[in-house]
Amino acid sequence: MLKVEDINVYYGNIQALKGVTLEINQGEIVTLIGANGAGKSTLLKTISGLLKPKNGQVLYEGKSIGGKQAQAIVKQGISHVPEGRRVFANMTVQENLELGAFLRKDKAGMKEDMERVYVLFPRLLERLKQQAGTLSGGEQQMLAMGRALMARPKLLLLDEPSMGLAPLLVKTIFRIIEEINATGTTILLVEQNANLALSIADRAYVVETGRIVLAGTAEELTSSEKVKMAYLGGH
């Protein structure tokens, strides 16, 4: 479904991604694990059109999307839930969700998706008229995910969905990620909690200083000594 081939990405003179190659198949949950600053978020931003690769290519369903504008990429079926949630604080929950569908014209489909979001996140239904800035961190994360789903993505990019959340809420968010995947949405997940990410993923890539240093099934990486020592707390 998605193929990233040998991409190099720079912030000014600093090279953030160095010849990264990976692929994601339809229906999978693929996770990227690695330390802060390894280049994981940069990779998601490059796929969603927020950053342009200097060279190499990003292919989505066989077509090159590297360097295309972000909204053209959303139109093609890729939604990105950025790190730090980025909800529109002064708008209500409902207005935030409606914004997620701003490129769509199919009113009936939008209504259907809005109802699906309420089923996945009942808390949002209770807070419909509330300003997004007054929600808790967990509720804002739910809203950011719900808003991304309103574009009816085929591929959902999730950047650190558990960041700053209480353990119980993290469990809930991860259960919902699995539910979203079970309905046919492919997921690329960046997550600091490597144990949790590997527990729901099909496959994983380990990113270190802008390079992919390991790749395999989630089971292979969970049992890899190197991954255990570096990312799974050594046990």
The pLDDT, as a whole number, for residue 178 is 95
Q: What is the mean pLDDT of residues 133-153?
A: 91
Two tokens at 150? Answer: 């309103």
Q: Is 115:165 a contact under the CB 8 Å cutoff?
A: no
Q: Which domains does the chain have, with CATH numbers?
A: 2-77+153-231 (3.40.50.300), 89-152 (no CATH)
Give the global pTM. 0.91
Separation between Cα atoms, residue 160 and residue 143, nearest integer Å: 14
pLDDT in tens, 67-115: 899 989 999 999 999 887 789 999 999 999 998 888 788 888 888 889 9
Residue 91 DSSP symbol: S
Residue 22, CB-side half-sphere exposure with 13 Å CA sphere: 26
Residue 132 DSSP symbol: G
Q: How many CB atoms are closer than 10 A to CB 148?
A: 23
The pLDDT, as a whole number, for residue 41 is 94
The pLDDT, as a whole number, for residue 14 is 93
Tell me what percent of the residues of the chain surpass a pLDDT of 70.
Answer: 99
User: Nearest-CA neighbor of 26 among 47, 3, 7?
Assistant: 3
pLDDT in tens, 99-111: 888 878 888 888 8
Separation between Cα atoms, residue 79 and residue 232, nearest integer Å: 29
Q: Is 190:41 a contact under the CB 8 Å cutoff?
A: yes
Residue 175 exposed, middle or buried by CB count within 10 Å (0-12, 13-18, 19+): exposed
Separation between Cα atoms, residue 204 and residue 167, nearest integer Å: 22
Separation between Cα atoms, residue 226 and residue 100, nearest integer Å: 40
Whether the predicted pLDDT of 234 surpasses 70:
no
